Each structure stands twice: as C-alpha cells, then as structure tokens.
A and B are shown apart, each in its own frame.
Chain A
Amino acid sequence: MLDFHLLKALHTAAGPRTLDVRLTLAPGELLAISGPSGAGKTTLLRLLAGLDRPDGGFIQAENQAWYRAESRQWLPPQQRSLGFVFQDYALFPNMTVRENLAFAAAGQPQAERNISDLLASLELTELAERRPAVLSGGQQQRVALARALARRPRLLLLDEPLSALDLPTRLRLQQVLADVHRQFELTTILISHDPAEITRLADRVLELELGQVRCVGPPVATAAPARVLGRVVAGLPGGRLLVQLPGGTKVEVSGTAGVGEEIALTIGVASTL
C-alpha cells in the first residue's frame, strides 16, 4: 500500500546526519515509530505528508507516485489522500467542532452524514457546537482525529497524538485509535514513546536513531507481572512494611502483616509515562 525510500538532511544535536528510511507498509498495517528526540521521526512523517520536500528517494502510495526524485515528481499535500494528526492538534480556533469537520469534509459526497457519524463514533456529538479553546486535551485530540478522518483518507499519520494526555485519557484514546484504525481500514503510522502503547496498538515498530533505522519488527511485549514471596523484616511508621525478597533486596510496601510473616508481592513493569 505504501512503499517509500526517503532521504533528508537532518540537523541533530550530534551534528548533521542523513535521514535514510526504506520501508513497505502492508494495507491495514499499523506502524509505530519510536526513537530519541532528534532521530527524525517527525521529519519522516512530514516528508510522507508532503509538508517538507525530501532530498532524494521515492514515495509510492498504491498506484500513485507521491514523490520520485529521478523524475522530479512531487505531489503537494493537498493531493495526497492522507489524514495528519498534529502533536498540538492544530484545530482551527475560529470554527466549532462541527465546522472543523465540515471544513475538512467539504466537497465529499454525503459530507453531512459522514460528519454526524464521525461525531457519534468519537463521542463528540454533545461538543459539536463548541469551539476548540473550551475543550480538554483529550477532547481536542478526538476532534483532531475525527477531522483527519473526515476526508476519508487511506493513510493516517499521527505525530505523538497522545503524549500530552494523562494516563486514563490516554488509555481510552488508545482504544479509540485501535477501533478507528480497524473500522476505517486505514494504514496508520504513529509516533510514540510509550512501549505499552506500541505493544497495544502496533503491528510493527520502526526504531530510529540519528536518522538511521536501528530495527524494524514486531513490538516486544513488556514483561508480564511476576509474583514473589518476601519476608516482613520490620514494621515502619505510616502502616508501611520493610520486606526482604529472596535475593536479599529489601523493599518498602504498604500493607498489614506481622514481622517474620511471609507475604506474596506482585512485581509489575511500569510503563514509561
């Protein structure tokens, strides 16, 4: 569905580097891009969207060439069938939620009905007449997603769409993203720093470092929570206990148990927030 090789000069903290990524995405695939800041993640997304011009390579989307360096072909963003969700949402402040969507869907067949459907499926119907400034971050993000979908794109590009949100909102929106990706049969590229989010959503992860591909492959699942037994060695003020684990490590936990008693502990792997 999407086949590209992109080259672009990067100005990183470590000096000038070249972004060089060659990849083929299957239809309906969800690819996550991760990597440290300055690795070229956003640049890659902007090149695919046509917001920046590559220095070389090609982009082939289905049967359409979006970019071809050798024949100097370059399609402006207006002519590429894609939805882009910006990190700062980029909602139009002068328009209500419905107007934002209507602006995006203008000229589409059955625009009215599509907008109503989108508002309903992203739980925005009640907010439709409000302006973006009065919405919460999570609500704004749903509007941004709905607006990107209003043009019925085949490719959805998301630049760290959930990074600015609190954890409960983020978990809920991950579900929304997963549903939308399936329902609209999209090919999706998502920039994310959150391993839990990547494991939950992505078919493949592309790890970028200083413009180079470090690895591409299925996301590695985070370790499952483990259960261990520990012995309470002391009671601490504030209802906390000092517990010795089998290796000899001592940890503080909250709970009630007598000194010398053996208790079960669950050790989880915290996801990066």
Chain B
Amino acid sequence: MPPDYWQTLRLTLALAACTTALLLVLGLPLAYALAYGRSRFKPLAEAVVSLPLVLPPTVIGFYLLVAFSDSSALGRFLIEKLGVSLNFTFPGILVGSLVYSLPFMVQPLQAGFGQVPRSLREAAYTLGKSRSTTLWRVLLPNMRPALLNGLVLTFAHTLGEFGVVLMIGGSLPGTTRVASIAIYDEVQSLHYAQANAYALTLLGVAFVILVALYWFTKRDAARLS
C-alpha cells in the first residue's frame, strides 16, 4: 500500500463528489435551457458545452492555468480583489473539473428533458402549474434514468481526469494529487506495485459504479412499464 494511499483516495473522491454536486446544480438550468430554449444562439451554447469532449484536457488546463494566474485580468481580480489564488489549490482543480465534466452532466440531462413527452409539460401548464412546479413534480421524476446517468457519468469521469488537474494543480499530496496523478508519479519513480494499488482501485470503483448504473436503469425501466 502506498504511504498516502488513503489521503489520495479521499481527495479523489472529494473532488468527484463536489464536482458532481455542483454540476447538478449548474447543469440542470443549463440543460433545461438547451432542451426547451428557442434562441438563435443555442447551437453556439451547445458547442461550448461540448467542447471539453473533444479538446485535449491539457488545452483546458492550460487556459485555466493562464486565466487563474496574475498575468490575466480575471486572475488579477481573483487574487488582488478577492484574495483567491486558484492555481495549485483544491478549489482550482474543482473549477477545472467542473469545466472538464460539464458535458457529462448536461448532455444526459438535456436528452432526458427532450424525452419527456411535450404533452406532459403542457398538461401541467393547463392545470395551472408554474414552470418550476412542473420541473420538480413532472419533469424530473419522469427522467430519473437520465438524472442517474448524468450523476454517475460525471462522478466516474471526474475520478479519471488527469490532464486538467495536472496542469492547474500539479501534484501536491493532500491538496491536488488525485489518484490518476499518483499513478503517473509512482510509475515515474518505478514504484509499479504502488501504481498498481491506485490503478486497481480506480478500475474497481469505476466498474462497480457502472454496474450499479445499468442495474438501476434496468430496474427503473421494468418498474415504469
């Protein structure tokens, strides 16, 4: 077992959990707007949301690193006015993870909103229900598989992120060194057994999460039909 195995694991899970929770809050309104909005700029917004899917993580990490540093206006504002320095900190890699995993939350939710028949939404409106009541009582309960999908994929994807965290956070044990980076470090130092401990853990966790997802989805489908 590597010396800071539990510390690294705790940090990895904390990052994934925080990212998932925050992305749920941010992703829901965004997915709602993308699913039902009729703005001319929708394709633009969809492209921005999907960019992290196709960009190398190092590109995202590089621009965030620059943006958070005192060489950019945003970074100077954060550091001088708010006293927040994001590079090489946990909040910094959290922001990076939010950007990196955004499509994994927004896309399933957007698809879920799209799959709820329009007449259900309209029926709620003709029954005098506001948009928010309709969202909570009609839309979300009828898109539970999509919700679960978004949550699980975001969590699992954040567990496996490497490039963004490395660029913004480096490898500070207990602060920014997540499991995927620890594997890289251990291999660099030729500690194959310790790298294997992390790798095996990530493999196991990812597998269990996906099995649980598909099992719940199957059960849910059986229950509603």
User: Contact residues of A with B, CB < 8 Å?
Assistant: 49-51, 76-80, 82-84, 86-88, 90-94, 103-104, 107, 133, 147-148, 150-151
Closest to B225 in A: A133
- Can you show 22 pairs from A to B with CB atoms below 8 A apart? A50-B125, A50-B126, A76-B125, A78-B129, A78-B130, A84-B123, A86-B122, A90-B117, A90-B119, A92-B120, A92-B123, A92-B138, A92-B142, A93-B224, A94-B138, A94-B141, A94-B142, A104-B127, A133-B224, A148-B126, A150-B127, A151-B128
Q: A31 to chain B: closest CB distance in Å?
A: 18
Residues of B within 8 A of A78 (CB): 125-126, 128-130
A7–B130 Cα distance when bound, in Å, is 27
Size bin of chain B's contact surface: 10 to 19
Within 8 Å of chain A (Cβ to Cβ): is B191?
A: no
B137 proximal to A (CB < 8 A): yes
Contact call A90/B127, Cβ cutoff below 8 A? no
Report B85-138 residues with CB < 8 Å from chain A CB: 117, 119-120, 122-130, 137-138
User: Given the complex of chains A and B, what is the CA–CA distance between A107 and B128 in angstroms?
Assistant: 10
In the assembled complex, the Cα of A257 lies from the Cα of B125 at a distance in Å of: 63
Complex CA distance for A216 and B27, rounded to whole angstroms:
51
Query: Chain A at the B interface: mostly helix, strand, loop or mixed?
Result: loop
B117 touches A88 (CB 8 A): yes
Question: What string of 1s and 0s marks CB contacts (under 8 Å) between B132-158 and chain A?
Answer: 000001100110000000000000000
- Known A76-B125, A103-B137; judge A86-B119 contact (CB<8 A): yes
Q: What's the Cα separation between A51 and B122 when bound, in Å?
A: 7
| Alpha-carbon distance between A151 and B126 when the two chains are bound, in angstroms | 10
**With A and B bound together, what is the CA distance between A76 and B121 in angstroms?**
13
Scan B170-195; emit 1 where CB is below 8 A from any A CB, else 0.
00000000000000000000000000
Residue in B closest to A52 when the chains form the complex, CB atoms? B122
B137 touches A51 (CB 8 A): no
A107 contact set on B, CB distance < 8 A: 128
**Footprint of A on B, CB under 8 Å?**
117, 119-120, 122-130, 137-138, 141-142, 224-225
CB-based closest 5 A-B pairs? A90-B119, A90-B123, A94-B141, A84-B126, A77-B125
Min CB gap A111→B, angstroms: 12
> Contacts A76-B125, A77-B125, A90-B117 given; 12 further ones with Cβ under 8 A?
A51-B122, A78-B128, A79-B128, A86-B119, A86-B123, A94-B141, A103-B137, A104-B127, A133-B224, A150-B127, A151-B127, A151-B128
CB distance from A215 to the nearest CB of B (A): 29
Q: Which residue of B lies closest to A83 (CB)?
A: B126
Query: In the complex, A216→B51 CA distance in Å?
Result: 56
Residues of A within 8 A of B119 (CB): 86-88, 90
Complex interface: chain B residues within 8 A of A86 (CB): 119, 122-123
Task: List chain B residues, Cβ under 8 A from A83.
Answer: 126
Nearest Cβ on chain B to A186's Cβ, whole angstroms: 14
Q: How many angstroms between the C-alpha atoms of A73 and B137 in the bound complex?
A: 29
Q: Bound complex: CA of A76 vs CA of B131, how far in Å? A: 11
What chain A residues lie within 8 Å of B122 (beta carbons)?
Answer: 49, 51, 77, 84, 86, 90
